[in-house]
Amino acid sequence: MMFWNLINNIEKQAIEWRHYLHANPELSNNEINTAKYITTLLKSWNIYTKTKVAGNGVVGIIEGKNPNGKILALRADMDALPIEEKTNLEFKSKNTGIMHACGHDAHMANLLATAYILNELRNEWAGKVVLIFEPSEETLPGGAKKIIEEKILENQHVDIIIGMHVSPELPIGTIGYKIGTFMASSDEIYINVKGKSGHAAIVKDFVDPVISSAAIILNLQQIISRCNDPSIPTVLSIGKVIANGRTNVIPSEVHLEGTFRTFDEKWRNEAKILISEIANNTAKAYQTTAEVNIIPGYPTLYNDEKLTKEIIKFINDNLKEIKTESIPIRMTSDDFAYFSQVRPSFYFRLGIAEDTNTANSLHSEIFTFNDNALKYGIYTMSSIAYAYLTNKLNF
């Protein structure tokens, strides 16, 4: 009841925060006004605030009645996507070509409300809460890696870290979780295939990089079907092909971009070698050349087994308004994975769908959700944090 009273007090404001942040999105590495907005709110509650973390990130620190107790970090990402919003929301994006299409506006509003609640209750728990508003999650190398490199977790002696992401695949009032390995690693693939341009009707005068590129795309799929252990989920997708020829012009170069995702580090490294070998050898077979650049992305996201079991048991035993659902591994990635590599972590999906059959997907130009979902995220995160800091979790 205590939490619901506080949530009812802050819910309207949390919705207003989400609407403001949604209407004023900023891209990765440019979250300047977003950071100012967050900082102003935290300081208004007398929460110690550190700015310019990992670029435009913000860290807030709340101390309990005894700051020498457990130390918990809570994380929300800040950046938006380069998408032109096509919703009819009153609070739709004011910034052309930029949209909070991945729910980061909700993540920030959720963490702000959680911060407010924990700050109100600070005389009831011991330890510290480290609030991490992370910039640049959507763009490599990601804000999480920089935060770790800047020793935020180390200097604050963080014991565990919790994060969440909205999910249109789950109904409002439900949280999804996975014990252990949860989300895939991701690497970016860039291939330039070079030939010789010429008139499309005069075959002897050109070396065709288009045909070569098509063969490379097809041959790369053999990595999945013939080289991979089928027990290891793996995806290799080429999502961008630029040739810039014409109906009667063969270009000199074709540019390919794609992604490789999996759950096994050894296989991940082996596959990168195979991608280069197949691209180069296929190009050679077509008398072209291939320049391959694979940029390492985020690692596999892992939920600590003991911590996750304890949290889910706590939710099932105490938060009757929240339904928990064990969900499958995901081929999508989140740089929260870096945190999960260095601290015991719990990452969950917050249901936001009124109808999971008709909900708009993340990264869609019409993505949105009912504000009613916010309070369940606030309730879940603040309750878990409070339970941990008052020793109600066996961890």
**Between the CA of residue 59 and those of 49, 74, 127, what are the distances in Å?**
6, 10, 16
pLDDT at 84 over 80: yes
pLDDT of 67: 82
Query: pLDDT per residue over 343-357, tens digit each?
Result: 999 999 999 999 888
Q: Rounded mean pLDDT of the chain?
A: 97
Phi-psi region of 324 (alpha: psi -120 to 50; beta: other; left: phi over 0): beta
User: pLDDT category, 3, cuts 50, 70, 90?
Assistant: confident
Is the predicted pLDDT of residue 217 greater than 80, yes or no? yes
Q: What pTM was estimated for this model as a whole?
A: 0.93
Stretch(es) of the chain classified as CATH 3.40.630.10: 2-183+300-389
State pLDDT tens for residues 113-154.
999 999 999 999 999 999 999 999 999 999 999 999 999 999
Write down the pLDDT at residue 358. 86
Per-residue pLDDT, averaged over 180-203, amounts to 97
pLDDT for 257 beyond 70: yes
Q: Where in the chain is the domain with CATH 3.30.70.360?
A: 185-296
Going from the C-alpha of 166 to that of each of 157, 198, 330, the distances in angstroms are 28, 50, 14
What mean pLDDT comes out for the span 214-225? 97
How far is the C-alpha of 380 from the C-alpha of 346, rounded, in Å?
Answer: 12
Architecture per CATH, domain 185-296, reads as: 2-Layer Sandwich (3.30)
3-state secondary structure of 114: helix
Residue 346: name the closest of 392, 393, 276, 391 by CA. 393
**Domain 2-183+300-389 bears CATH identifier 2.30.110.10:** no
263-302 pLDDT, tens digit each:
999 999 999 999 999 999 999 999 999 999 999 999 999 9
The vertex-151 CA angle with 148 and 154, nearest 5°, equals 105
Burial tier of 239 (Cβ tally within 10 Å: 0-12, 13-18, 19+): exposed
Predicted confidence band of residue 1 (pLDDT cuts 50, 70, 90)? low
Residue 186 has pLDDT above 60, yes or no: yes
Dihedrals phi, psi of 145, to nearest 5 degrees: -60, -40
Give the model's confidence band at 180: pLDDT under 50 very low, under 70 low, under 90 confident, else very high: very high
- Measured in whole angstroms, the distance separating CA 176 from the mean position of its chain's CA atoms is 15
- Return the minimum-mean-pLDDT range out of 31-40, 63-72, 108-117: 63-72
- Look at 356 and 338; give whichever has higher pLDDT: 338
Mean pLDDT computed over 76-85: 98
Q: Mean pLDDT over residues 318-331, rounded?
A: 96
pLDDT of residue 357: 87
